[in-house]
Amino acid sequence: MQKLNLNQVLSQKLSPQQIQFIKLLQVPTAELEARVEEELEINPALEEGKEENGEQNEDEIPENFEDDNKEEKDLNIEEYLSDDYSGYKMQGDGNYSPDDEEREIPLSSATSLHEQLISQLNFLKLDDHQKIIGKQLIGSIESDGYIRRDLEAIINDLAFSQNVETDLDEVEEVLRKIQNFDPAGIAARNLQECLIIQLERKEHQEDARIQKALRVVNDCFDEFTKKHYDKILKKCGIDEEDLKEVIHMIIRLNPKPGGGSDGMLRTQYILPDFILNNVNGKPEISLNAKNAPELRVSRSYSEMFEAYDKSDKKDKKLKETVSFVKQKLDAAKWFIDAIKQRQQTLLKTMHAILDFQYEFFEEGDETKLKPMILKDIAERIDMDISTVSRVANSKAVQTEFGVFPLKYFFSEGISTEGGEDVSNREVKSVLQKMVDKEDKRKPLSDDKLVKLLNGKGYNIARRTVAKYREQLQIPVARLRKEL
């Protein structure tokens, strides 16, 4: 038996304006210009330029238009929104000045590693059979330049996918030819082979240092990677000074001849969203000019709407036209408002970060950073944590000390003996300095680092020191040992 029940449910739904704002807020400055151009292209009611005095806005648009089909009046905001924008990777250091404002940012590109190797393969005097093997081997080279796939598996691939019969000797013969290509060390099957290839390609092979380096890599590679220098001295029969020169030569070789990328060389740039200038000894924040595009609602579209709406003729075709024009006007006004709200939110958030981390922005000293989480800033600006997160995840600020992603200023706290909380960045900075100043003959273990940090008043556990050391990409003490 079917029953009809009535339930009352309280739910929250974002308005089209809120959706517009959220999407624009998370867009970094580097992508905002493209987003604005996209909106200008799809909405003829939106124009570039300053708003004119007395220009009609949404509040002045008459709302007395009657439409039997209410759905035609509703604006489908998805029509005006593109897909979600993902955050951009901030790598490298860069400076930005007002002189660069109107310049196109160049994208540096180069021939892919795969194409370079195929080009070199074509210069070899190989028959068609060997060329197929060579292309299969090159296709098996990973982004860092190594072939980790077993040669037997490559032979099987050739047989099943290309109907090419071969054997291990022939594949190794072609592989040795490829290993003579540039960059040196390419197509090695492991780090040891990569280093040997590079040493064997050095000029002046008769040089005793090269021969000793080859002996160390060939015969004592395991001891070399573990820095068991005493064992190397005994096994290779060389003195300490020679070993120093050999190690210096080996560590200057390239362990990743492929570059470790996706095979394409790229230069990436950071376009800061905020500019921090020191004005009379006081840091002041301003938005990058690209964050403030000059936009206005088209006067011709507004006048068109007034004319259509005041028309005595109210047939279906005219109603559809008026509905379309009003939708475009609404979308233009909403977009302009969302851009302005974005600017206000960005500045409000950055000012709160500046106030919270004022000591850092005065001197640029990392140890002056205070523990700060998203909630701290959200409470200061009376906004939701998710809003602060959207600002922090994809924005950067240019200071006289460099360009920093906003995420840089957020960190957890570590308690001191005095009961105060200090940023974990301060602890990491102190840890890095300790490692930099240590005696490399007897590097500090994690236990010793804990005691030294505790002696400076930082209450920190060994596992935390190990975690920070790994985040700083500092190897364990045994691997930091030098002669």
User: Got the DSSP string for 419-467?
Assistant: S-EEEHHHHHHHHHHHHHHS-TTSPPPHHHHHHHHHHTTB---HHHHHH
185 in the same domain as 138: yes
DSSP 218-253: HHSHHHHHTT-HHHHHHHHT--HHHHHHHHHHHHTS
Q: Considering 251, 271, 294, which residue would you say is the last residue of a domain?
A: 251
Among 152, 215, 143, 139, residue whose Cα is nearest residue 178 = 139
CATH code: domain of residue 463: 1.10.10.60
Assess whether 206 and 316 both reside in one domain: no
Domain that holds residue 243: 113-251
Closest CA to 295 of 334, 325, 322, 323: 334
- Number of neighbours of residue 414 by Cβ within 10 angstroms: 21
Residues β-bridged to residue 244: none
∠ CA 144-149-152, nearest 5°, is 150
Q: Are residues 232 and 160 in the same domain?
A: yes
Is 11 within a domain? no
Separation CA 94–CA 108 (nearest Å): 15
pLDDT at 130: 92
Is 422 inside a domain boundary?
yes
Q: Rounded to 5 degrees, what are φ and ψ at 249?
A: -70, -45
Residues 438 and 332 grouped into a single domain = no
- What's the confidence (pLDDT) of residue 71? 36
Provide the pLDDT for residue 94: 37
- Rama region for 185: left / alpha / beta (φ>0; ψ in -120 to 50; rest): left
Instruction: Give the C-alpha separation, 483 to 365, whole Å.
Output: 33
Nearest to 63 by CA among 264, 309, 398: 309
On whether both 244 and 332 belong to a single domain, the answer is: no
My answer on whether 348 and 382 are in the same domain is yes
Can you tell me the distance from the alpha carbon of 196 to that of 212, in angstroms, rounded to the nearest whole number? 12
Which of 251, 269, 301 is at the close of a domain? 251
Give the count of beta carbons closer than 10 Å to the beta carbon of residue 310.
9
Considering the domain architecture, whether residues 166 and 247 belong to the same structural domain is answered as yes
Domain assignment present for residue 105? The answer is no
Domain tally for the chain?
Answer: 3
On whether residue 156 sits in a domain, the answer given is yes
Partners of 282 in the β-ladder: 279
**Does residue 102 belong to any structural domain of this protein?**
no
- Are residues 367 and 456 located together in one domain of the fold? no
Report yes or no on 66 lying in a domain: no
pLDDT at residue number 3:
67
| 281 is a domain residue | no
Instruction: Please indicate, yes or no, whether residues 125 and 233 belong to a single structural domain of this protein.
Output: yes
Domain identity same for 127 and 226: yes
Residue 72 lies in a domain: no
- Output the tens digit of pLDDT for each of the chain's 483 residues: 566 777 666 655 666 667 767 777 877 777 888 888 888 888 888 888 776 654 444 433 334 333 433 333 333 333 323 333 333 233 333 333 444 443 333 333 345 788 889 989 988 888 999 999 999 999 999 888 999 999 999 999 899 888 889 999 999 999 999 999 988 999 999 999 999 999 988 877 778 888 888 888 998 888 888 888 888 888 888 888 888 888 888 888 888 888 754 444 444 456 788 898 888 878 888 888 777 788 888 888 777 777 766 666 666 777 777 788 888 888 888 888 888 888 899 999 999 999 998 888 888 887 788 888 888 899 999 988 888 888 888 788 888 888 888 888 887 767 666 666 667 777 888 888 888 888 888 888 888 898 888 888 888 888 888 888 888 888 888 778 776
- Give me the sign of the Cα torsion angle 250, 253, 257, 260: positive
C-alpha 302: how far from chain center: 43
User: What's the predicted TM-score (pTM) here?
Assistant: 0.50
Q: In this structure, are 230 and 134 located in the same domain?
A: yes
437 shares its domain with 389: no
Domain boundary among 372, 397, 422: 397
Q: Which pLDDT value is given to residue 56?
A: 42
Continuous segment of H or E residues that includes residue 426 = helix 424-437
pLDDT at residue number 247:
86
Task: Let me know: does 393 contact 432? Beta carbons within 8 Å.
Answer: no
Identify whether the C-beta of residue 417 lies closer than 8 Å to the C-beta of residue 407.
Answer: no
| Residue-level pLDDT at 92 | 34
